[in-house]
Amino acid sequence: MESYKKLLLANKAWVQDRLSADANYFEEMAKDQKPEFLWIGCSDSRVPAEEVTGTDPGELFVHRNIANMVVHTDLNILSVLQYAVEVLKVKHIIVCGHYGCGGVKNALTRKPLGLINRWLQHIKDVYRLYSRELEAIADPRARLDRLVELNTIEQVQNLAQTSIVQRAWRTMNQPTIHGWIYDLHTGELKELAQMAPGTKLDDVYMFDYGDEPASDPGTGER
C-alpha cells in the first residue's frame, strides 16, 4: 500500500470513531468555531499542536511556520492574528518553540540555503541581540537550547508590538500572550514567558490611539 493511502484509511476510522461516540459530532462541529487559543508553533512534524495539548478540533486556532516566527511583514501571520484577535476574540495566544528546532539550528550556520535564508535572518537578528549571553555558553547544544528560548520570548514581544494586539488590549483587555517551549525528549511543555494585557513595552513600540473610543474594535493593521 502506498504510504499516503494510510492517511485516508485512518481518516475513515477516525470518522467512525467520532460518530460512534456522538452521531451529531460533525454536524455540531460544522456550525461554528469558538476557539479560546491561538497557537503559533513550528512546522516541525514532531510538535503537533492538538496532540501535545490534549485539545480537540474546535479548541485551537493554529498558525505554524518554520521556527514559530512572528514577522511583521508576513501577511499570512498578520491575517491569522487579526482574525483570531478581532473576530474569534481568543483569550490567549501561545507561541510555542521547541528544543532541537532545525530552523534555529540552521540560523546559526553560515550555510547559504536559498530563499529560506531570508526567513532565518530574523533568528540571526535574535542571536545578535543576545550574542553576549549566548557566546558565554560553551556547550553548543545548551547554546542552541537557549537561542530557542530567546527566540520564543522575542516572538512574544513581536506579537505585543503589533497594533492588532495593542488595540485589543486597549478595547477588550485581552489576549494574554504566552511563550512556551516543547521538549522533544520528554514531550513536556514548559512556560517561559507571559505578557498580560496592557503590559508596557519600550516606548518606541507603543502606539498612541489618542482619544479614539475604547469601544472601537478596530478593523485591521494600521
Measured at the CA of 204, the angle between CA 191 and CA 157, to 5 degrees, comes to 15
> Rounded to the nearest whole angstrom, what is the least distance from the CB of residue 175 to Co ion in the complex?
23
> Rounded to the nearest whole angstrom, what is the least distance from the CB of residue 47 to Co ion in the complex?
7
Name the residue among 162, 132, 161, 167 with its Cα closest to residue 147. 132
Check: CB of residue 39 under 8 Å from CB of residue 176. Answer: no
Question: 103 or 175: whose CB is closer to Co ion?
Answer: 103
Does 144 interact with Co ion (rule: CB under 5 A)? no
- Among the listed residues 38, 96, 101, 159, the single contact to Co ion using CB under 5 A: 101
Active site residue 203: no
Query: What residues numbered 19-58 form the site for Co ion, per CB under 5 A?
Result: 42, 44
Beta bridge partners of 194: 178
Does 149 interact with Co ion (rule: CB under 5 A)? no
Active site residue 42: yes
Mapped onto helix, strand or coil, the DSSP state of residue 70 is: coil
> Rounded to the nearest whole angstrom, what is the least distance from the CB of residue 103 to Co ion in the complex?
5
Give the largest Cα separation in the chain, rounded. Answer: 65
Active site residue 46: yes
Task: Give me the catalytic one of 18, 32, 96, 98.
Answer: 98
Does 145 interact with Co ion (rule: CB under 5 A)? no
One DSSP character per residue, 200-213 reads ---GGG----TT--
Check: CB of residue 147 under 8 Å from CB of residue 120. Answer: no
Angstrom distance (rounded) from CA 5 to CA 191: 38
Task: Give me the catalytic one of 46, 72, 118, 141.
Answer: 46
Question: 42 or 144: whose CB is closer to Co ion?
Answer: 42
Quick one: which segment of 33-41, 95-103, 145-153, 172-180 binds Co ion (CB under 5 A)?
95-103
Type and span of the H or E element at 41: strand 37-42
Task: Give me the catalytic one of 22, 72, 92, 101.
Answer: 101
β-strand 60-65 against 37-42: which pairing, if any?
Answer: parallel
Angstrom distance (rounded) from CA 129 to CA 140: 18
Question: 44 or 154: whose CB is closer to Co ion?
Answer: 44
> Rounded to the nearest whole angstrom, what is the least distance from the CB of residue 116 to Co ion in the complex?
12
Grid cell in block for residue 181: 517551549
> Rounded to the nearest whole angstrom, what is the least distance from the CB of residue 191 to Co ion in the complex?
19
Catalytic residue list: 42, 44, 46, 98, 101
Would you tell me which residues interact with Co ion (CB under 5 A)?
42, 44, 101, 103
